[in-house]
Structure 1
Amino acid sequence: MKILLATSNPHKLEEIQDIMADADVELVTLADIGLDVPEPVEDKDTFEGNSALKAKYYADLAGMMCIADDSGLEVDALGGEPGVKSARYSGKEGPRKIVDIANNRMLMQKMKGVAPSKRDARFVCAMSLCSPDKGDALVQVRGTIEGRILKNDECEDEIHPEKGKGTNGFGYDPLFFVSGLSMTTAELTADEKNRVSHRGAAAREMARQLVLIRKTQMGEKK
Protein backbone atom coordinates (compact mmCIF):
# COMPACT_ATOMS: atom_id res chain seq x y z
CA MET A 1 0.00 0.00 0.00
CA LYS A 2 1.53 3.30 -1.13
CA ILE A 3 0.62 6.33 0.96
CA LEU A 4 1.71 9.94 0.79
CA LEU A 5 3.14 11.32 4.04
CA ALA A 6 2.45 15.05 4.04
CA THR A 7 5.46 16.53 5.75
CA SER A 8 8.60 18.42 4.84
CA ASN A 9 10.07 17.68 8.26
CA PRO A 10 12.80 15.03 7.85
CA HIS A 11 12.65 14.16 11.56
CA LYS A 12 8.97 13.24 11.31
CA LEU A 13 9.57 11.21 8.16
CA GLU A 14 12.35 9.19 9.78
CA GLU A 15 10.32 8.53 12.93
CA ILE A 16 7.17 7.45 11.11
CA GLN A 17 9.04 5.36 8.53
CA ASP A 18 10.80 3.43 11.28
CA ILE A 19 7.58 2.76 13.17
CA MET A 20 5.59 1.68 10.11
CA ALA A 21 8.34 -0.51 8.71
CA ASP A 22 6.41 -3.71 9.54
CA ALA A 23 3.00 -2.47 8.37
CA ASP A 24 3.64 -3.25 4.68
CA VAL A 25 3.21 0.43 3.82
CA GLU A 26 5.33 2.36 1.36
CA LEU A 27 5.49 5.98 2.45
CA VAL A 28 6.32 8.57 -0.18
CA THR A 29 6.89 12.27 0.30
CA LEU A 30 5.73 15.33 -1.60
CA ALA A 31 9.19 15.53 -3.17
CA ASP A 32 9.03 11.87 -4.21
CA ILE A 33 5.92 12.46 -6.31
CA GLY A 34 6.99 15.91 -7.52
CA LEU A 35 4.11 17.73 -5.82
CA ASP A 36 5.22 21.31 -5.26
CA VAL A 37 2.24 23.31 -4.01
CA PRO A 38 1.66 25.95 -1.33
CA GLU A 39 1.01 24.58 2.14
CA PRO A 40 -2.60 24.79 3.32
CA VAL A 41 -3.49 27.33 5.99
CA GLU A 42 -3.79 25.47 9.28
CA ASP A 43 -6.64 27.47 10.78
CA LYS A 44 -8.38 24.83 12.90
CA ASP A 45 -8.37 25.06 16.68
CA THR A 46 -7.59 21.39 17.34
CA PHE A 47 -4.75 19.07 16.36
CA GLU A 48 -7.29 16.69 14.83
CA GLY A 49 -8.81 19.45 12.74
CA ASN A 50 -5.48 20.56 11.33
CA SER A 51 -4.25 17.04 10.61
CA ALA A 52 -7.46 16.21 8.71
CA LEU A 53 -7.29 19.49 6.80
CA LYS A 54 -3.75 18.74 5.63
CA ALA A 55 -4.42 15.09 4.81
CA LYS A 56 -7.46 15.93 2.67
CA TYR A 57 -5.70 18.81 0.93
CA TYR A 58 -2.75 16.71 -0.20
CA ALA A 59 -4.80 13.58 -0.90
CA ASP A 60 -6.99 15.49 -3.32
CA LEU A 61 -4.04 17.13 -5.07
CA ALA A 62 -1.96 13.95 -5.28
CA GLY A 63 -4.84 11.62 -6.12
CA MET A 64 -3.71 9.12 -3.50
CA MET A 65 -4.24 8.28 0.15
CA CYS A 66 -2.43 10.66 2.45
CA ILE A 67 -1.38 10.72 6.10
CA ALA A 68 -0.80 14.04 7.81
CA ASP A 69 -0.21 14.89 11.43
CA ASP A 70 -0.43 17.94 13.62
CA SER A 71 1.69 17.90 16.73
CA GLY A 72 2.41 20.27 19.52
CA LEU A 73 2.99 21.00 23.16
CA GLU A 74 0.33 21.71 25.76
CA VAL A 75 1.42 23.36 29.02
CA ASP A 76 -1.13 23.33 31.83
CA ALA A 77 0.15 26.52 33.50
CA LEU A 78 -0.32 28.38 30.20
CA GLY A 79 -3.87 27.19 29.62
CA GLY A 80 -2.78 24.66 27.01
CA GLU A 81 -0.41 26.95 25.11
CA PRO A 82 1.32 26.81 22.73
CA GLY A 83 -1.06 24.09 21.48
CA VAL A 84 -1.86 24.24 17.77
CA LYS A 85 0.43 27.27 17.51
CA SER A 86 3.45 25.32 18.75
CA ALA A 87 5.43 25.62 15.50
CA ARG A 88 4.84 29.37 15.25
CA TYR A 89 4.58 30.33 18.91
CA SER A 90 7.11 33.15 18.77
CA GLY A 91 5.98 34.50 15.40
CA LYS A 92 9.56 34.12 14.19
CA GLU A 93 10.11 32.99 10.60
CA GLY A 94 13.13 31.39 9.02
CA PRO A 95 15.06 28.12 9.24
CA ARG A 96 13.81 25.56 11.76
CA LYS A 97 16.90 25.95 13.97
CA ILE A 98 16.24 29.68 14.41
CA VAL A 99 12.49 29.28 14.87
CA ASP A 100 12.91 26.48 17.42
CA ILE A 101 15.18 28.61 19.61
CA ALA A 102 12.79 31.57 19.40
CA ASN A 103 9.82 29.38 20.36
CA ASN A 104 11.73 27.82 23.24
CA ARG A 105 12.85 31.24 24.47
CA MET A 106 9.26 32.48 24.54
CA LEU A 107 8.10 29.38 26.38
CA MET A 108 10.77 29.72 29.07
CA GLN A 109 10.01 33.42 29.48
CA LYS A 110 6.33 32.66 30.04
CA MET A 111 7.21 29.88 32.48
CA LYS A 112 9.53 32.08 34.53
CA GLY A 113 8.56 31.90 38.18
CA VAL A 114 6.11 28.99 37.72
CA ALA A 115 6.48 26.54 40.61
CA PRO A 116 7.99 23.10 39.91
CA SER A 117 4.69 21.43 40.81
CA LYS A 118 2.83 23.54 38.23
CA ARG A 119 5.00 22.79 35.18
CA ASP A 120 3.09 19.76 33.89
CA ALA A 121 2.90 19.46 30.10
CA ARG A 122 2.33 16.97 27.33
CA PHE A 123 3.22 16.45 23.72
CA VAL A 124 0.22 15.64 21.51
CA CYS A 125 0.13 14.17 18.02
CA ALA A 126 -3.07 13.81 16.01
CA MET A 127 -2.72 11.84 12.78
CA SER A 128 -5.30 11.59 9.99
CA LEU A 129 -5.63 9.37 6.94
CA CYS A 130 -7.63 10.74 4.01
CA SER A 131 -8.51 9.35 0.61
CA PRO A 132 -8.82 11.59 -2.47
CA ASP A 133 -12.23 13.05 -3.20
CA LYS A 134 -13.64 11.78 0.10
CA GLY A 135 -15.15 14.01 2.76
CA ASP A 136 -14.15 13.04 6.27
CA ALA A 137 -10.92 11.39 7.35
CA LEU A 138 -10.94 7.61 7.04
CA VAL A 139 -8.95 7.24 10.24
CA GLN A 140 -7.93 9.60 13.04
CA VAL A 141 -5.65 8.63 15.91
CA ARG A 142 -4.01 10.49 18.79
CA GLY A 143 -0.86 9.90 20.81
CA THR A 144 0.41 11.71 23.90
CA ILE A 145 3.35 11.71 26.27
CA GLU A 146 3.20 13.34 29.70
CA GLY A 147 6.03 15.27 31.33
CA ARG A 148 6.96 18.71 32.57
CA ILE A 149 8.88 21.78 31.46
CA LEU A 150 12.40 22.15 32.86
CA LYS A 151 13.23 24.91 35.30
CA ASN A 152 16.01 27.33 34.36
CA ASP A 153 18.45 25.80 36.82
CA GLU A 154 17.96 22.35 35.28
CA CYS A 155 19.07 23.50 31.84
CA GLU A 156 22.63 23.01 30.63
CA ASP A 157 23.04 26.77 30.14
CA GLU A 158 21.10 28.66 32.80
CA ILE A 159 21.82 31.98 31.07
CA HIS A 160 20.23 30.60 27.90
CA PRO A 161 17.66 28.14 29.30
CA GLU A 162 15.92 27.85 25.92
CA LYS A 163 18.70 25.44 24.94
CA GLY A 164 17.44 22.99 27.57
CA LYS A 165 19.15 19.60 27.83
CA GLY A 166 20.10 17.19 25.07
CA THR A 167 20.78 17.46 21.34
CA ASN A 168 18.96 14.46 19.87
CA GLY A 169 15.60 16.15 19.40
CA PHE A 170 14.11 19.23 17.84
CA GLY A 171 11.51 21.83 18.74
CA TYR A 172 10.63 21.77 22.43
CA ASP A 173 12.33 18.40 23.03
CA PRO A 174 15.25 19.87 25.04
CA LEU A 175 12.80 21.50 27.48
CA PHE A 176 10.43 18.55 27.95
CA PHE A 177 11.40 16.32 30.88
CA VAL A 178 9.89 12.83 31.01
CA SER A 179 9.72 12.07 34.71
CA GLY A 180 9.56 8.29 34.34
CA LEU A 181 12.74 8.31 32.28
CA SER A 182 14.53 11.11 34.19
CA MET A 183 15.64 12.83 31.01
CA THR A 184 14.34 15.14 28.31
CA THR A 185 13.06 13.84 24.99
CA ALA A 186 16.15 15.42 23.41
CA GLU A 187 18.33 13.08 25.49
CA LEU A 188 16.62 9.95 24.18
CA THR A 189 18.01 7.88 21.34
CA ALA A 190 15.90 7.63 18.19
CA ASP A 191 14.74 4.12 19.18
CA GLU A 192 13.88 5.22 22.72
CA LYS A 193 11.96 8.22 21.45
CA ASN A 194 9.96 6.12 18.98
CA ARG A 195 8.92 3.83 21.83
CA VAL A 196 7.59 6.57 24.11
CA SER A 197 6.85 9.66 22.01
CA HIS A 198 3.45 11.08 21.14
CA ARG A 199 4.20 10.68 17.44
CA GLY A 200 5.37 7.12 18.00
CA ALA A 201 2.13 6.26 19.79
CA ALA A 202 0.03 7.82 17.03
CA ALA A 203 2.06 6.16 14.27
CA ARG A 204 1.78 2.72 15.87
CA GLU A 205 -1.99 3.05 16.12
CA MET A 206 -2.17 4.33 12.55
CA ALA A 207 -0.10 1.35 11.41
CA ARG A 208 -2.53 -0.98 13.19
CA GLN A 209 -5.47 0.70 11.47
CA LEU A 210 -3.76 0.42 8.07
CA VAL A 211 -3.32 -3.32 8.57
CA LEU A 212 -7.06 -3.60 9.28
CA ILE A 213 -7.88 -1.55 6.17
CA ARG A 214 -5.65 -3.74 4.00
CA LYS A 215 -7.24 -6.93 5.39
CA THR A 216 -10.70 -5.52 4.66
CA GLN A 217 -9.69 -4.64 1.11
CA MET A 218 -8.26 -8.11 0.57
CA GLY A 219 -11.45 -9.66 1.90
CA GLU A 220 -13.58 -7.57 -0.47
CA LYS A 221 -11.54 -8.73 -3.47
CA LYS A 222 -12.14 -12.42 -2.71
Structure 2
Amino acid sequence: MSYTRKPLLLIIIILLFTVGIFTSTYLYITGFDLKAFFTSLDINIYGKIGILFLFYAFRNYLFVPSTVIIILSGVVLQDFLLTAIVSIIGVGIGIAETYTIGYLFRKNVVEDNKKLPIINKYKKQIQENGVKIVFFSCMFPLTPVDLLYYAAGFVKYRFTPFFLAAIAGEMWLILLYSYLGVEAQKYTSFAVYFAGFFIVGFGGWWIWKKRE
Protein backbone atom coordinates (compact mmCIF):
# COMPACT_ATOMS: atom_id res chain seq x y z
CA MET A 1 0.00 0.00 0.00
CA SER A 2 1.28 3.47 -0.86
CA TYR A 3 2.34 5.82 1.92
CA THR A 4 -0.23 8.41 0.76
CA ARG A 5 -3.21 6.05 0.90
CA LYS A 6 -2.35 4.34 4.16
CA PRO A 7 -2.61 7.44 6.42
CA LEU A 8 -5.92 8.28 4.73
CA LEU A 9 -7.32 4.81 5.44
CA LEU A 10 -6.07 5.03 9.02
CA ILE A 11 -7.84 8.37 9.49
CA ILE A 12 -11.07 6.98 8.00
CA ILE A 13 -11.00 3.92 10.28
CA ILE A 14 -10.26 6.05 13.36
CA LEU A 15 -13.15 8.36 12.44
CA LEU A 16 -15.48 5.38 11.98
CA PHE A 17 -14.54 4.02 15.40
CA THR A 18 -14.97 7.47 16.96
CA VAL A 19 -18.40 7.94 15.41
CA GLY A 20 -19.28 4.40 16.44
CA ILE A 21 -18.35 5.01 20.08
CA PHE A 22 -20.43 8.19 20.30
CA THR A 23 -23.35 6.62 18.41
CA SER A 24 -23.40 3.49 20.57
CA THR A 25 -23.18 5.57 23.75
CA TYR A 26 -26.02 7.83 22.61
CA LEU A 27 -28.26 4.91 21.63
CA TYR A 28 -27.57 3.19 24.95
CA ILE A 29 -28.32 6.30 27.02
CA THR A 30 -31.53 7.05 25.10
CA GLY A 31 -32.70 3.43 25.30
CA PHE A 32 -32.95 2.99 21.54
CA ASP A 33 -35.03 -0.11 20.63
CA LEU A 34 -33.82 -1.76 17.42
CA LYS A 35 -36.82 -4.07 17.19
CA ALA A 36 -39.23 -1.14 17.50
CA PHE A 37 -37.17 0.74 14.92
CA PHE A 38 -37.57 -2.02 12.33
CA THR A 39 -41.26 -2.43 13.16
CA SER A 40 -41.87 1.27 12.56
CA LEU A 41 -40.21 1.22 9.13
CA ASP A 42 -42.56 1.22 6.16
CA ILE A 43 -40.25 -0.77 3.87
CA ASN A 44 -40.34 -4.18 2.22
CA ILE A 45 -38.26 -7.20 3.14
CA TYR A 46 -35.42 -6.19 0.81
CA GLY A 47 -35.09 -2.83 2.53
CA LYS A 48 -34.88 -4.54 5.91
CA ILE A 49 -32.22 -6.94 4.63
CA GLY A 50 -30.25 -3.98 3.29
CA ILE A 51 -30.32 -2.26 6.69
CA LEU A 52 -29.23 -5.49 8.39
CA PHE A 53 -26.26 -5.73 6.02
CA LEU A 54 -25.33 -2.15 6.94
CA PHE A 55 -25.35 -3.18 10.60
CA TYR A 56 -23.06 -6.11 9.78
CA ALA A 57 -20.72 -3.89 7.76
CA PHE A 58 -20.40 -1.26 10.50
CA ARG A 59 -20.79 -3.40 13.62
CA ASN A 60 -17.04 -3.27 14.39
CA TYR A 61 -17.19 0.50 14.64
CA LEU A 62 -20.41 0.42 16.68
CA PHE A 63 -18.96 -2.26 19.00
CA VAL A 64 -22.00 -4.47 18.45
CA PRO A 65 -21.37 -8.25 18.59
CA SER A 66 -22.53 -10.19 15.54
CA THR A 67 -24.62 -12.33 17.92
CA VAL A 68 -26.91 -9.37 18.58
CA ILE A 69 -27.40 -8.67 14.87
CA ILE A 70 -28.07 -12.35 14.07
CA ILE A 71 -30.78 -12.57 16.73
CA LEU A 72 -32.19 -9.21 15.62
CA SER A 73 -32.24 -10.50 12.03
CA GLY A 74 -34.34 -13.46 13.13
CA VAL A 75 -36.75 -11.23 15.04
CA VAL A 76 -37.12 -8.88 12.05
CA LEU A 77 -37.24 -11.39 9.19
CA GLN A 78 -39.20 -14.16 10.95
CA ASP A 79 -37.86 -16.78 8.56
CA PHE A 80 -35.14 -19.19 9.66
CA LEU A 81 -33.65 -19.98 6.23
CA LEU A 82 -33.59 -16.33 5.15
CA THR A 83 -32.14 -15.27 8.51
CA ALA A 84 -29.44 -17.93 8.26
CA ILE A 85 -28.45 -16.88 4.72
CA VAL A 86 -28.37 -13.18 5.59
CA SER A 87 -26.42 -13.89 8.79
CA ILE A 88 -23.83 -16.12 7.09
CA ILE A 89 -23.19 -13.43 4.48
CA GLY A 90 -23.17 -10.71 7.14
CA VAL A 91 -20.76 -12.56 9.41
CA GLY A 92 -18.58 -13.25 6.37
CA ILE A 93 -18.46 -9.52 5.63
CA GLY A 94 -17.38 -8.85 9.22
CA ILE A 95 -14.68 -11.52 9.11
CA ALA A 96 -13.22 -10.18 5.86
CA GLU A 97 -13.40 -6.59 7.07
CA THR A 98 -11.68 -7.30 10.39
CA TYR A 99 -8.95 -9.37 8.72
CA THR A 100 -8.36 -6.60 6.16
CA ILE A 101 -7.95 -3.94 8.85
CA GLY A 102 -5.40 -6.15 10.61
CA TYR A 103 -3.58 -6.83 7.35
CA LEU A 104 -3.41 -3.18 6.30
CA PHE A 105 -2.10 -1.89 9.62
CA ARG A 106 0.07 -4.81 10.71
CA LYS A 107 3.24 -2.67 10.70
CA ASN A 108 1.67 -0.14 13.06
CA VAL A 109 0.83 -2.93 15.48
CA VAL A 110 4.40 -4.21 15.50
CA GLU A 111 5.44 -0.88 17.01
CA ASP A 112 2.94 -1.34 19.88
CA ASN A 113 3.68 -5.04 20.26
CA LYS A 114 3.83 -5.09 24.07
CA LYS A 115 0.51 -3.28 24.47
CA LEU A 116 -1.55 -6.03 22.81
CA PRO A 117 -1.01 -9.22 24.83
CA ILE A 118 -4.22 -10.99 23.76
CA ILE A 119 -3.67 -10.32 20.06
CA ASN A 120 -0.02 -11.34 20.38
CA LYS A 121 -1.17 -14.61 21.95
CA TYR A 122 -3.46 -15.29 19.00
CA LYS A 123 -0.73 -14.31 16.53
CA LYS A 124 1.57 -16.93 18.03
CA GLN A 125 -1.15 -19.59 18.07
CA ILE A 126 -2.09 -18.93 14.44
CA GLN A 127 1.54 -19.12 13.36
CA GLU A 128 1.94 -22.44 15.21
CA ASN A 129 -1.43 -24.11 14.56
CA GLY A 130 -2.85 -22.39 11.48
CA VAL A 131 -6.52 -22.85 10.66
CA LYS A 132 -7.07 -25.33 13.49
CA ILE A 133 -6.89 -22.62 16.14
CA VAL A 134 -9.16 -20.39 14.03
CA PHE A 135 -11.79 -23.09 13.52
CA PHE A 136 -11.98 -24.35 17.10
CA SER A 137 -11.78 -20.88 18.67
CA CYS A 138 -14.70 -19.67 16.55
CA MET A 139 -16.88 -22.50 17.85
CA PHE A 140 -17.01 -21.00 21.36
CA PRO A 141 -19.42 -18.08 21.94
CA LEU A 142 -17.16 -16.32 24.46
CA THR A 143 -14.06 -16.26 22.25
CA PRO A 144 -13.15 -12.66 21.25
CA VAL A 145 -13.15 -13.66 17.59
CA ASP A 146 -12.58 -10.14 16.29
CA LEU A 147 -9.19 -10.09 18.02
CA LEU A 148 -8.47 -13.47 16.43
CA TYR A 149 -9.35 -12.07 13.00
CA TYR A 150 -7.15 -9.01 13.54
CA ALA A 151 -4.30 -11.33 14.53
CA ALA A 152 -4.72 -13.39 11.34
CA GLY A 153 -4.37 -10.19 9.33
CA PHE A 154 -1.35 -9.08 11.35
CA VAL A 155 0.55 -12.28 10.54
CA LYS A 156 -0.56 -12.17 6.86
CA TYR A 157 -2.14 -15.62 7.12
CA ARG A 158 -3.55 -16.82 3.80
CA PHE A 159 -7.03 -15.34 3.52
CA THR A 160 -8.96 -18.18 1.85
CA PRO A 161 -8.17 -20.99 4.36
CA PHE A 162 -8.52 -18.51 7.23
CA PHE A 163 -11.92 -17.31 6.02
CA LEU A 164 -13.27 -20.83 5.43
CA ALA A 165 -12.08 -21.98 8.87
CA ALA A 166 -13.63 -18.94 10.56
CA ILE A 167 -17.02 -19.18 8.85
CA ALA A 168 -17.13 -22.97 9.37
CA GLY A 169 -16.29 -22.57 13.05
CA GLU A 170 -18.99 -19.94 13.56
CA MET A 171 -21.59 -21.82 11.51
CA TRP A 172 -23.34 -23.70 14.32
CA LEU A 173 -23.60 -20.52 16.38
CA ILE A 174 -24.99 -18.60 13.39
CA LEU A 175 -27.68 -21.25 12.90
CA LEU A 176 -28.45 -21.40 16.63
CA TYR A 177 -28.79 -17.63 17.00
CA SER A 178 -30.82 -17.43 13.78
CA TYR A 179 -33.28 -19.96 15.19
CA LEU A 180 -33.44 -18.23 18.57
CA GLY A 181 -34.09 -14.92 16.84
CA VAL A 182 -36.96 -16.29 14.75
CA GLU A 183 -38.44 -18.05 17.78
CA ALA A 184 -37.49 -15.32 20.24
CA GLN A 185 -40.87 -15.01 21.92
CA LYS A 186 -41.23 -18.76 22.32
CA TYR A 187 -37.68 -19.49 23.48
CA THR A 188 -36.71 -16.44 25.50
CA SER A 189 -36.49 -18.43 28.73
CA PHE A 190 -34.59 -21.22 26.95
CA ALA A 191 -32.07 -18.71 25.62
CA VAL A 192 -31.51 -17.28 29.09
CA TYR A 193 -31.00 -20.73 30.62
CA PHE A 194 -28.72 -21.78 27.76
CA ALA A 195 -26.59 -18.65 28.10
CA GLY A 196 -26.38 -19.06 31.87
CA PHE A 197 -25.46 -22.73 31.62
CA PHE A 198 -22.81 -22.06 28.99
CA ILE A 199 -21.25 -19.14 30.87
CA VAL A 200 -21.04 -21.14 34.10
CA GLY A 201 -19.65 -24.18 32.26
CA PHE A 202 -17.14 -22.21 30.26
CA GLY A 203 -16.10 -20.24 33.34
CA GLY A 204 -15.51 -23.45 35.27
CA TRP A 205 -13.48 -24.91 32.41
CA TRP A 206 -11.40 -21.72 32.12
CA ILE A 207 -10.65 -21.66 35.87
CA TRP A 208 -9.70 -25.34 35.77
CA LYS A 209 -7.33 -24.76 32.85
CA LYS A 210 -5.73 -21.83 34.67
CA ARG A 211 -4.96 -24.02 37.67
CA GLU A 212 -3.19 -26.65 35.59
State the TM bucket, normalised to the shorter chain: under 0.3
Higher helix share: 2
Length-normalised TM-score, structure 1: 0.26
Length-normalised TM-score, structure 2: 0.27
Higher relative contact order (CA 8 A, sep 6+): 2
